Amino acid sequence: MNETTVLDSATIQSLLEEERWFEASKTFREKANTNNSSLYDMAAHNREEFWATMAEGLDWYEKWRTVLEWNPPYAKWFVGGKLNASYNCLDRHVKNGMRNKAAIIWEGEPGDQRTLTYWDMYREVNKFANCLKRLGVQKGDRVAFYMPMIPELAIGMLACARLGAVHSVVFGGFSPEALRDRINDAQATVLVTADGGYRRGNLLPLKHDADLALRETPSIEHVIIVKRGDFPLHVKEGRDHWYHRLMQEADAYCEPEPMEAEDMLYILYTSGTTGKPKGIVHTTGGYLTGVYATTKYVFDLKPEDVFWCTADIGWVTGHSYIVYGPMANGATQIMYEGSPDWPDRDRFWELVEKYGVTIFYTAPTAIRAFMKWGDEWPAKHDLHTLRLLGSVGEPINPEAWTWYHEYIGGNRCPIVDTWWQTETGSIMITPLPGVTRLKPGSATIPFPGVDADIFSEDGTRVDTGGGYLVVKSPWPSMLRGIYGDPERFKQQYWSKYEGIYFTGDGAKRDENDYFWLLGRVDDVMNVSGHRISTMEVESALVDHESTAESAVVGIHHDVKGQAIAAFVTLKEGYEADGKLEKKLKDHVVQKIGVIARPEKIIFSADLPKTRSGKIMRRLLRDIAEGKALGDTTTLADASVVEKLKRTYEEEYSA
Ligand code: WTA
């Protein structure tokens, strides 16, 4: 990208205008956990005091001496404080009258069901911690997980936390190679897996795949296998153990290890859309404070709520908003094993109706799939119990936002569009639903105590307009490093601006001081010297009635520097032809301006995505520029790219 051709002080030009406002109902606001500016005021007055107040919502064995020690880029929060994450997620609820409250209401894809109360979780976690101990796991050891979405994954993570062992969860959809590399990077000594899991009616042969990885993972001493189904597998004597057998012999109680606030809680690998995976390190006290406080205030969580975060626990969203945040708050939540379109496209809505879900948190990629499938699917179900919706993972286009608001939320539920990252640990930019007025497509403003800002290339503040999203002060749940790679940690996050966290995302600030996320900085296009965010052109396309999803990339252009190529997935019932192509181009011109007119539109039934649902624009760029494909190992479905490549070559090779 040619930095010198930036036309104005704004690092990224912002072109799309959004004028609509939404507000929670009076009743919602009156009952909300917070409904005035007091949290913002407290944080503005003294950020550290604010976070200390949040930390007081947890149970500590010993109180901290110092709230924050900050030697950029290294932060220590709640120094001297001691606590245990599993104690905070379980013991204290069991003691406080919630032992019989449902913690996890689980449903498997084939329709099997289990409900685990806080007492059940407490008992299982204690026993499993004893199993790990018996196999030699000690404080600080790394335990890898390669699991389907079943309660034993949450149990296993909390059991590690109880002992002070560090969990490293590898998403069950990853390949054996990906598992192998992550086990080796963390030098894990134990792997917890399952015989298999269900996804879209198929079985994921997890133990079979794990065995492939285990050929080249010398650090692993023991493998524990949870029996999920009747999947065939090989058991290696001495190394492999059945979970249920170990549990039969395990003692009922395991004393939780009092952990220093800064002791490591987990490693989670993030590859993003490019490059070698990074083992993001989170510690105990600050992380738990961040997820505890954001769950309570962003999701307005009440004792009677039924919370459902649809993410897989293999991603940070599942770590923070299935395992640690909701459980630290004593929530009742839904956990679902399978895919949203199995056996039919209304599976999620069936679950919402059946369990009376009140808070529903999902990703834009899922919302756009629901839009594509049509509103008849949610219409089949009574969704009146929902009172709050959330979105995370990508910018949510205003069109998808309003669809979600109307067809899922019945025009009644506020939407919290939450911006954050694996690295940030907890939600950073978000509405507080009883306080913040909403604009579709904007994540609104930073959570209290989060010092987010927008900088131009040279580090000056962008008052209104586009630039780079940064965080200027440390926050409790921030990453403490990249496991085993301090240089990369500094290089990646702290080298662009001195002492300031660089998110790698573009954002713009509007005249109301609201933040609009513009996508990864690496994806920004440069058309005739205008830096245009992919997100805004995509939103303009999705704004057209025919379009369900789109991904836009900048491709080389002799005159303009870059031209825009748009990949478009149509809603059911629309025909891809030259007429529609022209209409879509005109629509973008009308919404944004002639500068953003796509040079090419490529219709595609699917877009290449990472397994967590993020569009891989890098691959689309390669396709559109006719290059050999780069690294495709993090792709969810490699055939999508091959198909696209062929279609593209047929159409544009002439
Ligand atoms: C993107 C997921 C716009 C962003 C929690 C970020 C978002 C990356 C939003 C982190 C949002 C996440 N609006 N973009 N509400 N939420 N992102 O590590 O590019 O899987 O940097 O963490 O997702 O993805 P990660």
**CATH number of 536's domain:** 3.30.300.30
Torsion on CA atoms 358, 359, 362, 368, rounded to nearest 10: 60
CA of 391, closest atom in ligand 1: 15
| 522 vs 46, residue with greater confidence | 46
Instruction: For residue 94, give the amino acid letter.
Output: V
Same domain, yes or no, for 470 and 591? no
Between the CA of 421 and the centroid of ligand 1 the distance, in Å, is: 5
- Phi then psi for 197, rounded to 5 degrees? -155, 165
Least confident span in 317-326, 411-420, 644-653: 644-653
From 318, 402, 401, 386, select the one nearest 349 (Cα to Cα): 386
Mean of pLDDT values over 233-238: 96
CA distance 206 to 197: 7
252 has pLDDT over 70: yes
CA distance 113 to 138: 33
74 has pLDDT over 90: yes
- Phi then psi for 56, rounded to 5 degrees? -70, -15
Q: What is the pLDDT of residue 610?
A: 81
Same domain, yes or no, for 278 and 235? no
Same domain, yes or no, for 530 and 549? yes
121 alpha carbon, distance to own chain's centre: 24
272 has pLDDT over 70: no
Counting the structural domains of the chain, the total is 3
Full residue range of the structural domain in which residue 172 is found? 85-257
Q: pLDDT tens, 539-586?
A: 999 999 999 999 999 998 888 888 999 999 999 999 999 999 999 999
Q: Does 520 contact ligand 1 (Cβ within 6 A)?
A: yes
CB 68 within 8 A of CB 77: yes
β-pairing verdict for 202-204 and 197-199: antiparallel
Q: In this structure, is the dihedral angle defined by the CA atoms of residues 175, 181, 184 and 185, taken in order, positive or negative?
A: negative
Same domain, yes or no, for 298 and 333? yes
CA of 503, closest atom in ligand 1: 21
Which two structure tokens, joined as six digits, stand for 305? Answer: 């709520």
CA distance 13 to 526: 10
CA distance 553 to 219: 42
Same domain, yes or no, for 210 and 141? yes
CB 45 within 8 A of CB 37: no
Task: Give me the DSSP letters along 284-298.
Answer: SHHHHHHHHHHHHHH
Q: Does 372 reside within a domain?
A: yes
From 378, 419, 368, 428, select the one nearest 398 (Cα to Cα): 368
Q: Does 547 reside within a domain?
A: yes
Which of 270, 287, 421 to mutate to test ligand 1, by most ligand atoms within 8 A of the CB atom?
421
Same domain, yes or no, for 453 and 556? no
Q: Which residues of 46-59 are buried (b: 16+ CB within 10 A; e: fewer)?
A: ebbebbbbbbeebe
CB 360 within 8 A of CB 386: yes
Q: What is the pLDDT of residue 640?
A: 77
Q: Does 505 contact ligand 1 (Cβ within 6 A)?
A: yes
Q: pLDDT tens, 177-224?
A: 889 999 999 999 999 999 999 998 888 899 999 999 999 999 999 999
Least confident span in 1-5, 107-111, 616-620: 1-5
Between the CA of 256 and the centroid of ligand 1 the distance, in Å, is: 33
Same domain, yes or no, for 603 and 630? yes
| 526 vs 210, residue with greater confidence | 210
> How many Cα atoms are found within 13 Å in the side-chain-facing hemisphere of 49?
8
Between the CA of 536 and the centroid of ligand 1 the distance, in Å, is: 16
Between the CA of 649 and the centroid of ligand 1 the distance, in Å, is: 32
Q: pLDDT tens, 456-485?
A: 999 999 999 999 999 999 999 999 999 999
CB 521 within 8 A of CB 504: yes
Mean of pLDDT values over 512-521: 93
Same domain, yes or no, for 489 and 538? no
1 has pLDDT over 60: no
Same domain, yes or no, for 176 and 238? yes
Q: What is the pLDDT of residue 10?
A: 46
Between the CA of 317 and the centroid of ligand 1 the distance, in Å, is: 10
Q: pLDDT tens, 34-68?
A: 999 999 999 999 999 999 999 999 999 999 999 99
| 611 vs 250, residue with greater confidence | 250
397 has pLDDT over 60: yes
Same domain, yes or no, for 554 and 513? no
Q: What is the pLDDT of residue 114?
A: 98
Q: In this structure, is the dihedral angle defined by the CA atoms of residues 8, 14, 17 and 19, taken in order, positive or negative?
A: negative
Task: Give me the DSSP letters along 19-62.
Answer: ---B---HHHHHHSS--STHHHHHHHH-HHHHHHHHHTTS--SB
Same domain, yes or no, for 172 and 132? yes
Q: What mean pLDDT is reported for the chain? A: 93
From 266, 271, 305, 318, select the one nearest 287 (Cα to Cα): 266
Same domain, yes or no, for 338 and 476? yes
The answer for residues whose C-beta is within 8 angstroms of residue 559's C-beta and 6 or more apart is 528
79 alpha carbon, distance to own chain's centre: 28
Of the three residues 198, 232, 257, the one that is the final residue of a domain is 257
pLDDT class of 654 with cuts at 50, 70, 90: very low
Atom 12 of ligand 1: nearest residue by CA position:
393
Between the CA of 518 and the centroid of ligand 1 the distance, in Å, is: 10
7 has pLDDT over 60: no
Mean of pLDDT values over 138-155: 98
Which two structure tokens, joined as six digits, stand for 444? Answer: 């609104």
Q: Does 262 reside within a domain?
A: no
- Phi then psi for 224, rounded to 5 degrees? -110, 130
Q: What is the pLDDT of residue 523?
A: 84
| 111 vs 17, residue with greater confidence | 111
Q: What is the pLDDT of residue 31?
A: 98
Q: Does 300 reside within a domain?
A: yes
274 has pLDDT over 80: no
CA distance 251 to 130: 6
Which of 169, 391, 392, 470 to mutate to test ligand 1, by most ligand atoms within 8 A of the CB atom?
392
pLDDT class of 635 with cuts at 50, 70, 90: low
Task: Go through the chain and tell me how many residues it has.
Answer: 654
Q: What is the pLDDT of residue 9?
A: 36
Of the three residues 486, 518, 550, the one that is the final residue of a domain is 518
Q: What CATH number has the domain bearing residue 326?
A: 3.40.50.12780
Q: Does 270 contact ligand 1 (Cβ within 6 A)?
A: yes
Q: What is the pLDDT of residue 605?
A: 87
Between the CA of 211 and the centroid of ligand 1 the distance, in Å, is: 32
CA of 422, closest atom in ligand 1: 18
Give me the residues paired with residue 561 across strands: 527, 557
Q: Does 555 reside within a domain?
A: yes
Q: Does 248 reside within a domain?
A: yes
Atom 5 of ligand 1: nearest residue by CA position:
421
Instruction: Please report, rounded to a whole number, the percentage of residues in the chain having pLDDT higher than 70.
Output: 94
Which two structure tokens, joined as six digits, stand for 365? Answer: 């990629």
Q: In this structure, is the dihedral angle defined by the CA atoms of residues 497, 499, 504 and 508, taken in order, positive or negative?
A: negative
Task: Identify the residue whose tokens are 């790219």.
Answer: 641
137 has pLDDT over 60: yes
Q: Does 612 contact ligand 1 (Cβ within 6 A)?
A: yes
Q: Does 420 contact ligand 1 (Cβ within 6 A)?
A: yes
Of the three residues 499, 518, 537, the one that is the final residue of a domain is 518
